[in-house]
Structure 1
Amino acid sequence: MLEEKGIKPAVVAGLSLGEYSAFVKANVLSFKEAVQLVKKRGQYMTDAVPLGKGAMSAIMGLDRQTIKDACEEASILGVVSPANYNMPGQIAIAGIKEAVEKAGEILLEKGAKRVVPLQVSGPFHTQLLEPASIQLKEAITAISVHEPTLPVVSNTIAEVFKDKEQIKDMMVKQVMSPVYWEDSVRTMIDLGVDTFIEVGPGKTLSSFIKKIDKTVTILNVENEKTLEKTMKKLAELEA
């Protein structure tokens, strides 16, 4: 929709699964192969940890080190670690359900504003997903991965991918590694990005970016109405 209006991105990125949309836009993957790979990725992740065994919680109002320390303390009950660095003051943790709950209790004692259990099907972006990572590596060898035609920022290392070989490596690691979304946004800002357009349902990423940097312009496109609004705002910025 945006491309039809003449809007082309200078850089692309996506949070977790959203990174595959960025790969399609940068011609790293065809749409068909991306859909096939995403389907397999989802199945591998579901199979890696039995339903109900894992959990995730969003921690509000604490710094990274405090959250890491609490996870280490709670890990006596099982795997638990930071999974998503979404924005300042919001980090999601994930792991074995009992360990996640214990870490949440510790973090409330340490001054967390809130600990919010997330309605998800598994402990995403933790070492518990290693079996899925191994299976995904095999699946990636069966598809064509191309050199990106525009910069793609990895949410695993918060850097622009160097080449297709690094992309393949990070696809494998991403499912069992933390998502550094806040860091990825800061990387894009350092690259000169001053206008972000979130494409897809909702404004979750937009809300994160507002907390990361209040000086940038944040727009979204999820239907014809928001497309028109975004195009109008872009025209105003260029005037």
Structure 2
Amino acid sequence: MRAFLFPGQGSQSVGMGKALADASAVAREVFGEVDEALGQHLFRLMIEGPEDDLKLTENAQPAIMANALAVFLVLTQDGGVDLEKAVQFVAGHSLGEYSALAAAGTFDLATTARLLKLRGQAMQRAVPVGEGAMAALLGADLDLAQRIAATAAEGEVCEVANDNDPSQVVISGHKGAIDRAIALAKDMGAKRALALPVSAPFHCSLMQPAADAMAEALCMVDLATPAVSLYANVTAAATADPDTIRDQLVQQVTGMVRWRESIANMTAEGVSEFVELGGKVLGPMVKRISPEAKVVSVVTIEDIEAIAKELA
């Protein structure tokens, strides 16, 4: 069994998508459609920068999705790969869940781009710049991360945001609480704690205004049943019910990304191969969760041609 995976924020880089667009008309159409849907020259920003503008949440989220969907559609349209025959599940890390749903046909490309633009803007507005922060706890499992967060909170928000793999958990919340967590993490048993260069504290209760905005937006959108089941971030379980998916996308804004459990549960269901489309971020996490799994990262036209021969 096989699953397609789609990366989240942090996987963006200036130049992303250029070589693929040069090689494929399908990719060029994807980037053009996203530009048109957003009314901005996002693809130009992706290939030329500046990096600081690309890193802005409202730009990074649709850009990462556009790049991943370009890879997916080149694979399926040019490469002749049938999603339903190739994989049993799709999953995405945070915003990557929208990419996964677009690949599975729940949203069309333009709708996905507009939802992610709104999601990025709403997340940025939810907490004034400088009031929130995030940190990665290395050499810490979920239990230790939760204890560190609880100790550091002192009445402020300090919560686990991403349970990425057995050795990397991300916490999120008020800047003071995150600073305290970084200071005490090593003494409590973590190998290292690193402040993350983010502009807002994602996936914690401070994001409730953004969750409310997404609830309102998603109520206005029709969701089709995905062609294959989605492994959802907030439950680490598979679903193909559109109403359930809608609710989970809202919960995801404030909820923990249960990535470690998602991969472990897919592995337990018999998935032995994970294919990351549009990035090389998730593969190493997967190997730390399921060392026996086969992991393939598909980014370039050469990567696409190689995996298409295997899957078509």
1:25 positional shift: 1.3
Structure 1 segments unaligned to the other structure (5+ residues): none
Other structure's SS at 1:3 match: helix
2:80 is aligned to 6
Question: Contact (CA 8 Å) 1:220, 1:227: kept in 2 or not?
Answer: no
Instruction: Give secondary structure in 1 for the equivalent of 2:180.
Output: helix
Partner of 1:220: 297
2:219 aligned with 1:146: no
For 1:178, what is the secondary structure of its paired residue?
Answer: coil
Corresponding letter in the other structure for 1:118: L
Which residue of structure 1 aligns with residue 101 of structure 2? 23
Q: 1:107 aligns with which of 185, 210, 216?
A: 185
Asked if 2 retains the 8 angstrom alpha-carbon contact of 1:220 and 1:230, the reply is no
Q: Does the aligned pair in 1 maintain the 2:182–2:195 contact within 8 Å?
A: no
Equivalent residue number for residue 10 of structure 2: none
User: Corresponding residue for 2:286?
Assistant: 209
Please say if residues 77 and 98 of structure 1, whose CA atoms lie closer than 8 Å, have aligned partners that are also in contact.
no
Secondary structure of 1:66's partner? Answer: helix
CA contact (8 A) 1:182 1:212 kept: yes
Residue identity matched to 1:12? V
The amino acid across from 1:224 in the alignment is I
Shift of 1:190: 2.1
Moved over 3 A (4+): 228-232
TM-score by length of 1: 0.93
> Could you tell me which amino acid in structure 2 is paired with residue 220 of structure 1?
S
Q: Report the Cα offset of residue 114 of structure 1.
A: 1.1
**Displacement of 1:228:** 3.4
- Where do 1:116-155 residues align within 5 Å? 116-155=194-233
Identity %: 35
Quote how far apart the aligned CAs of 1:178 are: 0.5
Q: Is the 8 A contact 2:75 2:305 kept in 1?
A: no
Amino acid paired to 2:80: G
Q: Deviations over 1:217-237 (max 9, x none)?
A: 1111111122234346x37xx
Distance in 2 between residues matched to 1:135 and 1:14, nearest whole Å:
21
Cα deviation, residue 172, structure 1: 0.7
How high is the TM-score relative to the length of structure 2?
0.72
**Structure 1 stretch displaced more, 66-75 or 81-90:** 66-75
Please give the root-mean-square deviation of Cα atoms over the aligned residues, in Å. Answer: 1.6
Specify which of 154, 165, 168 is matched with residue 87 of structure 1. 165
Query: What residue number does 2:278 align with?
Result: 200
Give SS of 1:13's match.
strand
Query: 2: distance between equivalents of 1:22 and 1:85?
Result: 19
Would you say 1:34 and 2:121 are equivalent positions?
no
Unaligned runs of 5+ in 2: 1-73
Contact 2:232 2:262 in 1 (8 A): yes
Q: Identify the residue that residue 254 of structure 2 maps to in structure 1.
A: 176
Counterpart-to-counterpart distance in 2, 1:186 and 1:69: 23
Question: Aligned to 1:103, what secondary structure does the other structure show?
Answer: helix
The answer for the alignment partner of 2:263 in structure 1 is: 185
Amino acid at match of 1:60: L
Q: What residue number does 2:128 align with? A: 50
Count the aligned residue pairs: 234
